[in-house]
Amino acid sequence: MGALSDARKAYRLLRRALASRSAVQRVRRRLADREPYPLDHFQVAVYFADGAVNMYQMRQWYRPLAELSQRWPVVVLSRSATGAEKLLEEGGLPVAFVPKVRDLESFIAHQDIRVVLYVNQNTRNFQMFRYGRRWHVFINHGESDKMYMTTNQYKAYDYAFVAGQAARDRLTRTLWDYDVDRRTIDIGRPQADHYSGRLPYTPDERTVVLYAPTWEGDRPTALYGSIATHGETLVGELLATGRHRVIYRPHPRSGVVDEAYGASHRRIVAAIEAANAADAGAQHVYDDGPDLGWQLSAADVAVVDISAMVYDRLAAGKPLLITRPADPRASVDTAGYLADCEWLTAQDAGRIVAEVERVRADEAAVARLRTWVQHYFGDTTPGVATAKFHGAVERLMQEWETWHAREDDAILEEHDDDEAGEDDA
């Protein structure tokens, strides 16, 4: 059994290596046909060391960063061939393919990079941290109460752009000797000013339920995924009523660690296909597209796991249920919204229809949501978060100018001292 497992692992590694090599060749051919970027042009860089599987972390930032680039030119520093290929295909932002450290060094040596943004905690981020005289800023890829949001890795960055007061409280509670007031800057959720996508169905009298589970997780404390414990049951119940429309939007990494979890996901997709085949008017949706926004605003009720999707939906101020992790080892931070949310246990998944109706009718619960929206995101008036984001970058640019002016003054003072010494001699 061990030998068979090792053989499968070796086969997967070989396939991955061959796929990566092919992607490198395709990316290099594509970039060879492109005009070189102007020297000293880019002032903001987004460092992305991941491959195509984690593109969801970049996609939500395309539009906010594209708008920012009208003031401060932005480039993505892509370290992975499959990630670079996707970035080039989707055309959201200019891309520099820098797979090796020497490629990275060469590119930034010819650009005016003043602020470097990071959307995740990839260990290769440390290869970029070595370059000083620029600000390194963690912007994350969502707001949530996952343990990921309180990692000690925050201390590695000069600053962190956070959504609001809830994030600051969370970091204050968890991190030792971390100056939250100095090193975090509130920006709300600028992605919400750029929600995208069109409804893939014709609205009717059906109650629309968004089910957006996360992946299975790769450690006991992060076992938040509900597809295998809640998902098949609740989707099956909703498909059977004829009164509901399901939008199923699973995390793109679902099944990458646990094959059984991936099998549950595939059965849900098959059930949706079968339901649509049996009733063309049902228009249930399996959503694996890049656009995010229409799902959050269209759903009458959302069912989500502990993930950034909780807070994406929370910002919409509409009813939601959160799946209670079935594994007791999963870390649940109940100091914030999760202490006041509407839980759905695995045992109650079979009662999803009644639960959906209950939270729709609960006006007090909706009122509580509005309070939590303010706590997590501040002012959600359209355009406010974008203005905060641009203001935060502007502030760092001014600080960059200040530090460089100090360095220039120090160099001039040292030069004057040297000349004075020569005169004395």
Number of domains in the chain: 2
| Residues 215 and 88 both lie in one domain | no
User: Cα 125 to chain center, whole Å?
Assistant: 16
User: Of 18, 63, 11, which is closest to residue 292 (Cα–Cα)?
Assistant: 63
SS3 sequence of 70-114: CCCCEEEEECCHHHHHHHHHHCCCCEEECCCHHHHHHHHHCCCCC
What is the SS3 assignment for 181-193?
A: HHHEEECCCHHHH
- Given 109, 125, 141, the domain boundary residue is 141
Task: Measure the CA–CA gap between 312 and 299, rounded to whole angstroms.
Answer: 13
B/e letters for 397-413, b = 16+ CB within 10 Å, e = fewer, are: beebeeeeeeeeeeeee
**Same domain, yes or no, for 10 and 110?**
yes
- Are 106 and 224 in a shared domain? no
Residue indicated by tokens 């929370």: 314
Find the domain containing 72 and state its range: 2-141
- Find all residues with CB under 8 Å of 286, minimum gap 6, and list them: 248, 269, 272, 273
* Helix intervals (H) in 289-383: 294-298, 308-314, 352-361, 363-377
CATH number of the domain that residue 60 is part of: 3.40.50
pLDDT in tens, the chain (425 residues): 566 666 666 656 666 766 777 888 999 998 888 889 999 999 999 999 999 989 989 998 999 999 999 999 999 999 999 999 999 999 889 999 999 999 999 999 999 999 999 999 999 999 999 999 999 999 998 887 777 788 999 999 999 999 999 999 999 999 999 999 999 999 999 988 887 778 999 999 999 999 999 999 888 988 999 999 999 999 999 999 999 999 999 998 899 899 999 999 999 999 999 999 999 999 999 999 888 888 998 999 999 999 889 988 887 878 999 999 999 999 887 878 888 999 999 999 999 999 999 999 988 877 888 899 899 999 988 899 999 999 999 999 999 999 989 887 777 766 655 665 666 65
- Domain of 284, CATH number, reads 3.40.50.2000
Joined tokens for residue 379: 């002012």
**Same structural domain, 131 and 214:** no
Domain boundary among 141, 171, 194: 141
Query: Does residue 124 share a domain with residue 225?
Result: no
